[in-house]
A = this chain, B = another copy of it.
Amino acid sequence: MRSPVPDSARERCAALDAADPLAGLRERFVLPPGTIYLDGNSLGPPARDTADRLHEAVAHQWGGDLVRSWNSAGWIDLPARLGAKIAPLIGAQPDEVIVTDSTSVNLFKLLAGAVRRQPGRTLILSERGNFPTDLYIAQGLIDQLAEARRQPAAGAVDGPHDKQLRLELVDRGDLPAALAAARAREQAGQGDLAVALLTQIDYRTGARLDMARITADVHAAGGLVLWDLAHSAGAFPVSLGEAGADLAVGCGYKYLNGGPGAPAFAFVARALQADFAQPLSGWMGHATPFSFDTDYRPAEGIARLLCGTPPILSMIALEAGLDALHAAQPLGGLAALREKSLRLTRIFAQRALERAARHGLRCVTPMTDAERGSQVSFTLPDADMAHAVIQALIARGVIGDFRAPDILRFGFAPLYLRHVDAWDAAEQLADVLDARAWDAPHFLGRAAVT
């Protein structure tokens, strides 16, 4: 069923690999043989030394120096140290980033702190297609604050100034218009935009927002911007500082390869740190945690974003992932990785469409380089078919994922993927469609977790 393409096309991919200065980085990761792993945007693979580092941490640090390892092994410094390692990946200063908790918990801290800095402003603007946890956290915060305001005033009648915080969701395409409208209200002295809560890369389509332009638009409307960098950090150079971004969160287990549920990071621009108040004021964010004071006094700077005791073993795994990524630095770093990522996604999308458009395969990822992240997403005429095709591909060792309602999603991590992987994955996708290999009961059943 192969279409009549000259072998030379795959050979050109092999030649790109042979000439790729980044090719050697693949050896730093554990990847099962016979697998083309295109789900590193959901869970990156382990760096090769992760298991050894954890063994060292358990057997010699924890099991040897026991509680003293908080100092002797530098555990206590891990949140700041890992933050400083993430900072250059996202265009931040080392003292603007800290690793702690999960993305969701950090969203709550930053959103609560942002809303608090914007008294009288009631609008949290986000996208309808934002990753659900971003929306859920905003809903939880709004609901909590609304309820709190109702409670103590029971019996009192709400006054005319009694405006509730609200979440407005717009389609991604309508963001510029929504921000222009917010700006017009601002200029009319009726500014209401508190925070724009935006994810740079759409988790379904891989479409990328222009961080600099949108940040400027949000600021012009009087708002703060909170960027979710889940599918950005480690995938391509992010420029929080250049864009003048205020706040950001990001994920440790996708392109940073930190392991399942790896701790997340939080970014607060220096200018906002001094009086940034976040409600999860746990002891690790105290100015002097080990003086065991009765009253909370936030640490200077980014450390006030800490809450409880950090999960050290998971942080050690994340450090292994970060160090593997930093090995790209002398080879051109994220800029070179970005170039490669664009090639990989282009090869994959073009070849897949070339062979499988006739099956109704449609690419929903922008092919303009500046407008996409590091993934390619397709749809097929039928959602169940899309899900079954992913299952059939997984059975062949090509691991992508399905995202409701109907997305076939393929992440391309340039750290460990080859150009031939992109080519071969497209061929496999087309083969599965050509042969209707997906049309079997064991592929058509929907998985509980996909």
Contact = CB atoms under 8 A, between A and B. Distances in A.
Closest 6 CB pairs of A and B: A102-B308, A104-B282, A104-B308, A140-B281, A30-B63, A144-B279
Interface stretch (A220-228, A327-335, A397-405): A397-405
A209 interface: no
Contact of A54 (B31, B160, B263, B313): B313
Interface stretch (A12-20, A293-301, A350-358, A423-431): A293-301
Nearest to A286: B136
Interface in A278-317: 278-284, 286, 289-296, 307-315, 317
Given A54-B54, A253-B309, A282-B104, A119 B154 contact: yes
Nearest to A316: B313
28 contacts: A30-B63, A32-B66, A37-B66, A43-B67, A45-B66, A46-B62, A46-B63, A50-B58, A54-B58, A58-B317, A62-B259, A76-B449, A104-B284, A119-B151, A120-B154, A133-B308, A139-B296, A140-B279, A143-B277, A147-B277, A148-B149, A149-B152, A153-B159, A156-B160, A290-B404, A290-B448, A291-B404, A292-B404
A71 B448 CA distance: 8
Contact of A294 (B37, B43, B169, B292): B169
Contact of A260 (B75, B103, B136, B160): B75
A39 interface: yes
B279 A403 contact: no
Contact of A135 (B108, B140, B294): B294
A123 to B, nearest CB: 12
A161 interface: yes
A313 B259 contact: yes
Contacts of A151: 116, 119-120
Most chain B CB within 10 A, of A120, A147, A261, A450, is at A261
A137 interface: yes
Interface of A: 30-32, 35, 37, 39, 42-43, 45-46, 50-51, 54-55, 58-59, 62-64, 66-71, 75-76, 101-105, 107-108, 112, 115-116, 119-120, 122, 128, 131-133, 135-137, 139-141, 143-145, 147-156, 159-165, 169, 253, 259-264, 277-284, 286, 289-296, 307-315, 317, 394, 399, 401, 403-404, 447-450
B449 A260 contact: no
Nearest to A107: B282
Nearest to A447: B71
A155 B290 CA distance: 41
Copies of the chain in the assembly: 2
A283 B152 contact: no
A332 B316 CA distance: 37
A43 B311 CA distance: 12
Contacts of A128: 294
A429 to B, nearest CB: 18
Nearest to A139: B296
B105 A260 contact: no
A294 to B, nearest CB: 6
Contacts of A253: 309
B162 A152 contact: yes
A102 B100 CA distance: 10
Nearest to A296: B136
